[in-house]
Amino acid sequence: MTDRCTALSAAAGEDQSGTAPGEGVWLLVEQPGPWGRKALRQSELPDDVAALLGGLGAHVAPGAPDVRVQLVRRPGRAEPGSRRTVLAARPAEDAPGLAVTRLEVGDVRDLLDHDPADLAAGRLAGAAPYEGPLWLVCTNGRRDVCCAELGRPVAAALAERWPEATWETTHLGGHRFSATLLALPAGVALGRLDPVTALAACAELAEGRIPLDVARGRVGVPATVQAAELVLRRRLGVRGVDEVAVVGRGDGWVELEVRGDAVRWYAAVTSHPGVPSPASCGDATPKAAPVHEVVLRVREP
């Protein structure tokens, strides 16, 4: 429908570069069944568990990445199993992207036994490293109808090919870019997907390449850094997840290097309000999201 936020954003020519969520730590808790608009409080989570998860931001250590809590469930209306999956992702120490661990619990209330500071840092006691990709597709129609209408077909298509990797999730921001997806461990957010483009994009990510035509940016870094990296990658055609590194940044600038290249790139970034567009279906007042203009030059030695 042309009055949906996704259609209005696309018609306005809004660029989705630099719109990935800023949190660098992700805690994913399996919670089947219906989700409300405020998913932690409006699902069937026990009140004490919802309070724990909703309050983790207060336990983030000074200077540490912010934490984001997501509910996840398997696509479709599958019956929940006897155990719940909990996944944590935190910045990897020796590679780009995030390190992911997985824990199976008999009861979601088992999370109450964990130190909130550990949960806020993405540390799950007793968890094992998770190998392989994760595709998290936003499908919470109570938050925005576009997420359900556009996200669920994407999740269903991905689940046919990657049943263990695919989860529906509650909120990835950027409803107007639906269908949206977070790919782990790469830590790359994607947008404006349909089942065909999602399958192609995730196949690229599974091979270690970023699908630049649908990329929103990397999670856990400022929007200006996300935008600068994508502009450089698109200019040079560099797709490898670990081929570009940020080696410096400041107010209005980012310095990047490409693996195997002797030069460094200096990106001057200026931000200004874009064309007003509804951030979500039903928004009474369109908002002007920031647009990031990036000018690249080779940094002189």
Indicate the DSSP class of residue 81.
Answer: -
Residue type at 210 in one-letter notation: I
Closest to 6 measured CA to CA, from 171, 252, 14? 14
Closest to 219 measured CA to CA, from 89, 93, 106? 89
- Residues with pLDDT less than 70, the chain: 1-2, 77-81, 141-143, 284, 300-301
Q: Please, what's the largest Cα pairwise distance for the chain?
A: 60
Give the model's pLDDT for residue 77: 66
Distance from C-alpha of 279 to C-alpha of 145, rounded to nearest angstrom? 12
pTM: 0.93
Closest to 158 measured CA to CA, from 100, 219, 201? 201
How many Cα atoms are found within 13 Å in the side-chain-facing hemisphere of 105? 22
Give the model's pLDDT for residue 9: 79
Give the model's pLDDT for residue 211: 98
Decide if 214 contacts 197 (C-beta within 8 A).
yes
Distance from C-alpha of 5 to C-alpha of 286, rounded to nearest angstrom? 10
Give the model's pLDDT for residue 299: 81
Burial call 102-133: b when 16+ CB within 10 Å, e when fewer = bbebeebebbeebebeebbbbebeebeebeeb
Decide if 198 contacts 179 (C-beta within 8 A).
yes
